[in-house]
A and B are shown apart, each in its own frame.
Chain A
Amino acid sequence: MKEFLLLIRSEESPKANLSPEQMQQHIEKVGGYLKRLSEEGRMKSAQPLEMAGTMLSYKNGQIVDGPYNETKEIISGYYHLLANDLEEAIAIAKKDPRFEEGIWRMEIRPIKHVEGIN
C-alpha cells in the first residue's frame, strides 16, 4: 500500500447555499463514505481546515508575511489515505459524494518515500 495526500480545494464555500436538509444529507453522505474508508483501513486521517490562516515566506534573510494567494480557491481540508497505486487513489477520490453538489477540486499527490528511510 502506498500513501496519498488528497487536498480538497474549493472556491468560496460550495456548502453555503445548501438548505438545512441538504446540509444534513451532505454530512450523512460524506460521513458514510469516510466511515467506509476508515473501516477498510484506508483512511489514515481526514481533517477540515479553517478558512483563514496565514502565509509566511523567507525572503532576504528574514521571515515575512505573504504573499497571499490571488485566487479565491483555498484548501478546505485533506485526506491522508492508503491505496495500491495512483489509479486506485483516483478511483477512491472520484467516489467522494461531495462532488455531487458543488464546485470542488481534489488534488491527489502520492507521498514520497525514499527506499530505506521511511
Chain B
Amino acid sequence: MKSTGLNKTGELTAHFFRNEYGKLVAVITRYLGSEHVETAEDIVQDALLQATKHWDLHGIPDQPKAWLYTTARNLALNALKRRKHHRTYALHQANNTSTAEQLPFSEELIEDSQLKMMFWCCHDSIPEPSRIALILKILSGFSITEIASAFFSNKETINKRLVRGRKQLRNVEFDSPHEQHLNQRLQTVLKTIYLLFNEGYLPSSENQIIRFDLCLEAIRLAQLLSDSELITKKADIHALLALMYFNVARFKSRTSETGELMDLKEQDRSKWDAELIQYGIQFLDLVVQGDTLSSYALLATISGHHCIAKSYEKTDWTTILSLYDQLLLLEKSPIVQLNRCVVLAEVAGTPTAIEELTKLGAQTDINRYYLYHFTLAELYKREQQWSASKLAYEEARNLSKNPRDQEILKKKKQALVPYLSSQLS
C-alpha cells in the first residue's frame, strides 16, 4: 500500500520531511541535470517551507505527500521554464522532451533516482568523509548543523567536506553503474553506509537522538539497495542489514538513566529491542542461504550471538572466537585482532589475552591507537594490576583525539583511585 504520509492517528509519519527531502532531491536532480543538484536542493527546501507555512495554521492535509509533490513539481517546472533559453537546458531537454514537460514523480522513478544518487555520492573519486557528508545532506535531508552534531564536529568542517565533495561530483556521471562495475561500486556504497552507521553508533551519551537517527538512516539506505531490482547479488547487503539491526537493537541500553556509559557486561539485556533483533535474524537467514561469506556476514553473526545470549557469562564465547578467526582470514587487520583479544580473554583467560595483546603491540602499529591501550587497561583492571591499568588508561588518553573519548578515559582512570591508594597503604 502506498503511504500518503500520515500514520493511523492522522499524524505525519516519523521523519516524513527528512525522507521526502531525499526522494524529491533525487528525482528533481534527474530532471534538472546533475550539475544543478544544488538548485534541486533549494527547490525541495522551498517546497517543504511552503508546506510548513501552510500546515502549521491549516492543519496537515489528507494527502500530505501528494500536496508536497505537487508543490515541488510546480517549483521544478518554474525553474525549467526560467532556463528555457539556456543552452545546457536545451541540450538536456532534447533528450527528455516527453518526460520533462510533466515531470512524473512515480514511486519507481523515485526509487531509481535515489539509487543513482547513492552511487553518485559514493563514487571512488570522492574522499570518504565527503561521501558520507554528501549522502547525509543530499539524500537524507540532514542539515549541516545536524551532521556536525552527529559527528561531534563543527559546521565549518562539514561544510568543507561538502564543498570538496560537490566539486568532485561535477566530474562524475549521474547514472546507474554498468553491470560489470555494479558489484565493485556496491562495495564502496556498502562501506560508506557502514561508516555512516558507525558514526552514529559511537559510544557516547551525547547527541543520542541525532546519532540514533543516523543509524536508522543507514539502515534505510541499505534497505533501498536491498529492495532494488537492479542489484541481483544481495548477500552483502543482507549481511550488512543484519549487522546494523543487531547493533542498533542494543543502542539505547548502552547508557544508564544517569547518562553513564555501560559496557556489554553491565547492560540490562531486557532493554534490547527484540523486534530489531528479529529483523537481524531474518536478514542473517537470507545470508546463510547464499554461498559467499563476507566480513559483514561474520560481524553480523558475532553481533547476533551477543544478541541472543541470556547473559554476559552465558555468551557462546568459543563460537565467537572461531568467528573472529575466520574474520582474520578475510581481513588480517590489527583492529580485528584487537577485538579478538577481548573475546580470547573470556575463552582462554585474561593473562593469555594480555600476552597476545602485548605481542600484537610489538608487531604492528596498533599501539598508536587509543583503543588498544584502553583494552589493555580494562584487562589489567580485571587482573587487579592497578598501576599497569592506570598507565594504560593514561596512554589511551594521550592518544585519543576527541574530548568525548578523553572524558570517558578520565572517568575510567579516576575509578581506579581507591584501589591505587589501598595498594600503597
Give residues in A with beta carbon < 8 Å to B: 13, 15-16, 18-24, 26-28, 30-31, 34-35, 46-48, 76-77, 98
Most chain A beta-carbon contacts within 10 A, residue among B18, B142, B145, B213? B18
Min CB–CB distance B98 → chain A (angstroms): 31
Check if B12 sits within 8 Å of A98, measured CB to CB: no
Residue from B21, B53, B141 within 8 A of A48 (CB atoms): B53
Task: Kindly identify, within residues 200 to 216 of chain B, every residue whose CB is under 8 Å from any CB belonging to chain A.
Answer: 213
Q: Inside 8 A of B17's CB, which chain A residues have their CB?
A: 20-21, 23-24
* Stretch from B57-65, B220-228, B277-285 that touches the partner: B57-65
SS class, residues of chain A in contact with chain B:
helix
Task: Kindly identify, within residues 40 to 56 of chain B, every residue whose CB is under 8 Å from any CB belonging to chain A.
Answer: 45, 48-49, 51-56
Check if B53 sits within 8 Å of A20, measured CB to CB: no
A-B contacts, 14 listed (Cβ < 8 Å): A16-B49, A19-B141, A19-B146, A20-B141, A21-B15, A21-B213, A23-B48, A24-B15, A27-B52, A27-B60, A34-B57, A46-B57, A48-B57, A76-B53
Check if A23 sits within 8 Å of B49, measured CB to CB: yes
| B312 close to A (CB within 8 Å) | no
- Given A20-B141, A21-B141, A24-B15, A15-B49 contact (CB < 8 Å): yes
Q: CA A46 – CA B55 in complex, angstroms?
A: 11
Q: Inside 8 A of B58's CB, which chain A residues have their CB?
A: 46-48
- Report the 10 A-B pairs with minimum CB-CB distance, sorted nearest first: A19-B143, A20-B17, A24-B17, A30-B56, A20-B141, A20-B21, A23-B52, A20-B18, A48-B57, A46-B57
Check if B52 sits within 8 Å of A18, measured CB to CB: yes
Q: CA A77 – CA B16 in complex, angstroms?
A: 25
Q: Inside 8 A of B20's CB, which chain A residues have their CB?
A: 20
Min CB–CB distance B394 → chain A (angstroms): 40
Q: CA A23 – CA B51 in complex, angstroms?
A: 9
Closest A residue to B59 by CB, please name it: A31
Q: Inside 8 A of B146's CB, which chain A residues have their CB?
A: 19, 21
Closest B residue to A18 by CB, please name it: B52
Closest A residue to B44 by CB, please name it: A20
Check if A24 sits within 8 Å of B56, measured CB to CB: no
Q: Inside 8 A of B108's CB, which chain A residues have their CB?
A: none
Q: Inside 8 A of A24's CB, which chain B residues have their CB?
A: 12, 15-18
Min CB–CB distance B217 → chain A (angstroms): 11
Closest B residue to A51 by CB, please name it: B53
Check if B57 sits within 8 Å of A15, measured CB to CB: no
Q: Inside 8 A of A21's CB, which chain B residues have their CB?
A: 15, 17-18, 141-143, 146, 213
Closest B residue to A48 by CB, please name it: B57
Min CB–CB distance A108 → chain B (angstroms): 17
Min CB–CB distance B138 → chain A (angstroms): 12
Q: Inside 8 A of A16's CB, which chain B residues have their CB?
A: 45, 49
Q: CA A19 – CA B143 in complex, angstroms?
A: 5
Q: Inside 8 A of A15's CB, which chain B residues have their CB?
A: 49, 52-53
Check if A27 sits within 8 Å of B143, measured CB to CB: no
Check if B56 sits within 8 Å of A27, measured CB to CB: yes
Q: Inside 8 A of B16's CB, which chain A residues have their CB?
A: 24
Q: Inside 8 A of B52's CB, which chain A residues have their CB?
A: 15, 18, 23, 26-27
Q: CA A5 – CA B21 in complex, angstroms?
A: 35
Closest B residue to A76 by CB, please name it: B53
Query: Other than the known A20-B21, A24-B18, what 20 A-B pairs have Cβ atoms closer than 8 Å?
Result: A13-B49, A13-B53, A19-B145, A20-B18, A20-B45, A20-B143, A21-B17, A21-B18, A21-B143, A21-B213, A23-B49, A24-B16, A26-B56, A27-B51, A27-B55, A27-B56, A30-B56, A47-B58, A48-B53, A48-B58
Check if B55 sits within 8 Å of A31, measured CB to CB: yes
Closest A residue to B146 by CB, please name it: A19
Min CB–CB distance B211 → chain A (angstroms): 14
Check if B56 sits within 8 Å of A20, measured CB to CB: no
Q: CA A15 – CA B60 in complex, angstroms?
A: 17
| B11 close to A (CB within 8 Å) | yes
Check if B54 sits within 8 Å of A48, measured CB to CB: yes
Q: Inside 8 A of B49's CB, which chain A residues have their CB?
A: 13, 15-16, 23
Q: Inside 8 A of A34's CB, which chain B residues have their CB?
A: 56-57, 59
Most chain B beta-carbon contacts within 10 A, residue among A15, A20, A27, A30? A20
